[in-house]
């Protein structure tokens, strides 16, 4: 494949807010990941010319840009949403992270024995817009999939694989620093 086509494919995927991950099971994305890894400095310079900053995480790449004030507020709202969603999946299984495999149906079964998990899903109704538990879980998984944090691995069994880009969300949450005043206001 020509270099120009690879750059174009990288741009098309990343400019839509996606991630290119090392552990993707899609051969095309694996090829793009390898190409970026081998030519990172060249590509970073190339995309910087059009105000896209090629950024490297742990086993994934994505674009960042300078943000306007309105964009920052929108991103803060998205961060709050992601905190809630990650908390739900980590409550299901604390090892939920890069490489983890799961099926929405398995999570639904856990709701019957895990009241905390059930409560967290109910609180996420503002994002899922449904009272049906399995549909709610599927909507959360679809959000993860559409934003590039998981990929459908097997359509027949409806099984998913968590991509390396999920660590972006984990780091986002871990990097939130609360002042002592705020910590004291948070109920335990």
Query: 57 near 64, Cβ under 8 Å?
Result: no
Query: 119 near 106, Cβ under 8 Å?
Result: no
Q: Is the pLDDT of residue 67 over 70?
A: no
On whether both 58 and 97 belong to a single domain, the answer is no
How far is Cα 16 from Cα 122, in angstroms, rounded to an integer?
Answer: 30
Output the average pLDDT for the chain.
89
How far is Cα 107 from Cα 93, in angstroms, rounded to an integer?
Answer: 9
Domain count, the chain: 2
Mean pLDDT for the stretch of residues 121-126:
95
Q: Which domain holds residue 21?
A: 3-64
For residue 153, the surrounding DSSP H or E stretch is strand 150-154
Helix or strand or coil: residue 177? coil
**184 part of a folded domain:** no
Mean pLDDT for the stretch of residues 127-131:
94
The string over 85-95, giving b where at least 16 C-beta atoms fall within 10 Å of a residue's C-beta and e elsewhere, is bbebbebbeee
Q: Is the pLDDT of residue 74 over 90?
A: no
Mean pLDDT for the stretch of residues 7-14:
94
On whether both 82 and 168 belong to a single domain, the answer is yes
Q: What is the CATH number of the domain that holds 145?
A: 1.10.10.1080
pTM of the complete model: 0.77
Residue 182 has a pLDDT of: 46
User: pLDDT tens digits for 38-54?
Assistant: 999 999 999 999 889 99
Q: Is the pLDDT of residue 2 over 90?
A: no
User: pLDDT tens digits for 97-108?
Assistant: 999 999 999 999
Helix or strand or coil: residue 74? helix
**185 part of a folded domain:** no
**151 part of a folded domain:** yes
Mean pLDDT for the stretch of residues 66-84:
77
φ, ψ dihedrals at 154, nearest 5°: -145, 110
List 20's β-bridge partners, or say none: 61
């Amino acid at each position: 494949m020509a270099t120009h086509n690879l750059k174009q494919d990288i741009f098309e995927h990343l400019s839509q807010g996606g991630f290119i991950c090392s552990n993707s099971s899609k051969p095309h994305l694996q090829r793009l990941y390898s190409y970026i890894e081998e030519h990172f400095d060249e590509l970073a310079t190339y995309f910087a010319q059009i105000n896209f900053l090629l950024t490297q995480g742990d086993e994934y790449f994505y674009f960042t840009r300078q943000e306007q004030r309105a964009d920052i507020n929108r991103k803060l709202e998205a961060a709050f949403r992601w905190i809630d969603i990650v908390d739900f999946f980590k409550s299901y299984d604390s090892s939920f992270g890069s490489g983890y495999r799961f099926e929405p149906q398995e999570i639904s079964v856990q709701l019957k024995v895990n009241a905390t998990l059930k409560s967290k899903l109910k609180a996420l109704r503002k994002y899922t817009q449904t009272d049906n538990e399995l549909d709610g879980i599927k909507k959360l998984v679809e959000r993860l999939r559409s934003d590039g944090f998981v990929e459908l691995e097997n359509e027949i069994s409806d099984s998913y694989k968590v991509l390396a880009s999920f660590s972006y969300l984990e780091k986002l949450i871990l990097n939130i620093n609360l002042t002592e005043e705020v910590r004291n206001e948070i109920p335990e």
